A and B are shown apart, each in its own frame.
Chain A
């Protein structure tokens, strides 16, 4: 009998181990030899800030999964293939995933896809049901691995995490609606509640990709409010310095390209820092890659400010609190350097 070829898409979930186990077991039940294709689908192309990190995670997951298969297979005749797919394109929705799985299946003569019920490759919402629908449409045979979920809430009933996201999205959109409208007029209050409700239900999971913390998240918002005047002051100072240089007839600019290794997490904190740097005239973020910012600076004063890391401290204060803000400047910890144009 021909070998049974299975495709197992992996993502880092609590049930991935069980899924691999089920794939091996069910594959060996149907045929005496099994060809197990373990793949990780990368949601973004390798070029985004966290691309390298994701690729590394994917490789780690694949090598762990390979060990699991070997462990489960024992003496049975099992061939293992691993691959990362989708690295050269953006995978946007379940349809894209279904299509790359189908392409892979065609190429390797896959008989069946084993899906992890918690499969969640990207940062966005859970994918299982729409993915199954798309696989059905394409006509690719699939099988949902029966797994025991530990302490995960079921798919429909939301837990507190979901409630927090819904509530926060509702509050933000309702507040925005009322600022634009009239908070004392009953019609605006009513329509605003309806609109905010729809927004919250449809966009809560997209708005907040990381779970909110009931204590920390509001505190961060308050800290951010304190950060704004500081940022404005920095912007005014930098504007005056740059204006003075531009208006001088000799125009003493010293453009240089610098690289700064920041001590803030990727995602929102890094975005906030990169945007703050760009917002200040004299410094311009050209590239952001795994906490490394490539910053173009126009005048030495702006470069010195950047290397002193005032904005970095501000962002650390916003996201991690006062104690975390007191870190050495990028210059002191040797994380800032002037680089040549070929770094681009």
Chain B
């Protein structure tokens, strides 16, 4: 479908830079998500940021692909792809969080909750603890 020639010569300048911008944003959010997975304290917090890769990371990257394809059939596929990613991502994130909860992984919570009467067993936020089981 697409010949391996320089993309810039096949699309207009505006479109070229639009593609670059979209792919750049996609890469940026994927990078942020990776940083988040490394920095955040426990499995629940990491699940939040892991879904960033799927939502905006994949979203912008696929938008870039769609713009590169232009007005043809393949662009519809990218929209469909994104649709399925958007359905499967929360399902997977929820499955991970729920199984963590079922196996008794305790979330790291802020001490703000300690003000509540029933929440006496709260811990402070240790920034470098793994959220895995104790």
The chain A residues found within 8 Å of chain B, CB to CB, are: 179-180, 182, 235-236, 239, 242-243, 246-247, 251, 253-257, 274-279, 281-287, 294, 296, 298, 338-342, 344
Contact = CB atoms under 8 A, between A and B. Distances in A.
Contacts of B108: 255
Contacts of B127: 251
A180 B118 CA distance: 55
Nearest to B119: A340
A49 to B, nearest CB: 11
Given A239-B56, A242-B49, A256-B110, A341 B98 contact: no
Nearest to B83: A228
A243 B52 contact: yes
Contacts of B100: 286
Interface string B90-133: 11011001101100101111101100101101100101000000
Contacts of B36: 242-243, 246
Contact of B49 (A180, A278, A281): A281
Contacts of B47: 284, 296
Contact of A279 (B32, B86, B106): B86
A262 to B, nearest CB: 15
B79 to A, nearest CB: 9
Given A246-B36, A251-B127, A286 B97 contact: yes
A255 B44 contact: yes
B14 interface: no
B76 interface: yes
Contact of A246 (B32, B80, B106, B122): B32
A276 B51 CA distance: 12
A126 B26 CA distance: 48
Interface residues of B, number: 47
B107 A341 contact: yes
A267 B101 CA distance: 22
5 contacts: A243-B32, A251-B40, A278-B90, A282-B48, A286-B97
Main secondary structure of the interface of A (DSSP, over half): mixed
B121 A340 contact: yes
Contacts of B116: 338, 340
Contacts, number: 131
B80 to A, nearest CB: 7
A282 B41 CA distance: 14
A302 B85 CA distance: 22
A52 B104 CA distance: 22
B128 to A, nearest CB: 11
B44 A239 contact: no
A284 B56 contact: no
Interface in B17-74: 29, 32, 35-36, 39-42, 44-45, 47-49, 51-52, 55-56, 73
A341 B122 contact: yes
Contacts of B49: 242, 246, 281, 298
Contacts of A246: 32, 35-36, 39-40, 49
Given A284-B51, A286-B100, 8 more contacts: A182-B73, A235-B56, A236-B56, A253-B110, A255-B109, A278-B90, A296-B48, A340-B109
Contact of B51 (A182, A247, A257, A278): A278
B91 A344 contact: no
B121 to A, nearest CB: 6
B32 A338 contact: no
User: Counting chain A CB atoms within 10 Å of each CB, which of B39, B101, B108, B125 scores highest?
Assistant: B101
Contacts of B91: 275
Nearest to A279: B90
Contact of A256 (B39, B52, B109): B109
Contacts of B42: 255
Contacts of A286: 44, 94, 97-98, 100-101
A285 B97 contact: yes
B78 interface: no
Given A275-B90, A278-B51, A279-B55, A257 B29 contact: no
Contacts of B93: 278, 284
